[in-house]
Amino acid sequence: MDSSPAKVTSARRGYWPSMAALVVALPAALAAQTWGSIRDWRAQHVRQPVSATLGQPIDYAGASWTVTRFTRLTGIERSTVVLAEFEARAADPKALGAIPCEVRLADGSREWKPTLFADPVLRQQYPEAEQRSLCGGIAFAAMEPGQPARMVASFSIPAAASSLTLSIALYSALPNYLSVSEPQP
């Protein structure tokens, strides 16, 4: 073991620069290791609303979108059915149809996914719903460029829920999503 004064001095001289390098290297290694997870988390959780108005077309995800109906149907007991109709005119409907689409209804603290068309209230009060498609592939399958693809979503929510917002998100356009507020009576 060589413990000559020259070696000891050289080791002491390198101590603080090494500690300083560690302060930089450690967070950098952590960031490099977790960057993929941070990016995934951001893609899933960070959303940017693009506000739209009922009946007014707005450009989103390479198509012109219009929410044509956003209304409550009479429900059963404490629940009510919310119906949303919307259409999209795309230059390339086939490409748009290949992108997963997510429709949600929220009231600030809670979020509802669309029900399927099995709801008896919907079948009774809006039988033509069965002729419409949910947002996504099937709605665009038979469409020509520029032709409107008409879609519908229904939600089963508590009758007391208020300040509702409809959101339509296409995965290719995230973090942006279309946001339409329930019209006030």
Partner 1 sequence: MMRVARSVLALLFAVAVLYGMQHTRPLYSDITSPIVASGGMNRRVEASAFALSLDRVRVARVLNVETFGKSKTYTSSGVWLVVEGEAEAKFETLGLTSGEWLSGSGVRYVLTDRVPATIEMMPGDVYQPGLPRHVLLMFEVPEDAVAGGTVVVARTKLLPLDDEIRIATNVSGRDIEPELTIRRNHKGPSWTVLPQR
Contact footprint for partner 1 (CB under 8 A): 78-79, 109-113, 115, 155-158, 160-161
Which lies closer to partner 1 via its Cβ, residue 9 or residue 162? 162
> How many angstroms separate the CA atoms of 90 and 180, rounded?
20
**Single-letter amino acid code for the residue at 87:** E
Q: How far is the CB of 129 from partner 1 (least distance, A)?
A: 17
Half-sphere exposure of 72 (CA within 13 A, CB side): 21
d(CA 93, CA 149): 8
Tell me whether residue 68 or residue 79 sits nearer to partner 1 (CB atom): 79
C-alpha dist (Å) from residue 53 to 50, 91, 178:
10, 22, 10
Q: How far is the CB of 144 from partner 1 (least distance, A)?
A: 34
Q: Which residues contact 64 (CB under 8 A, 6 or more apart)?
A: 57, 58, 88, 89, 90
- Could you tell me the smallest distance in angstroms from the CB atom of residue 79 to partner 1? 5
User: For residues 126 and 155, which CB has a smaller minimum distance to partner 1 in the complex?
Assistant: 155
Q: For the CB of residue 81, give the shortest distance to partner 1 in the complex, in Å.
A: 11
Nearer to partner 1, 6 or 118 (CB): 118
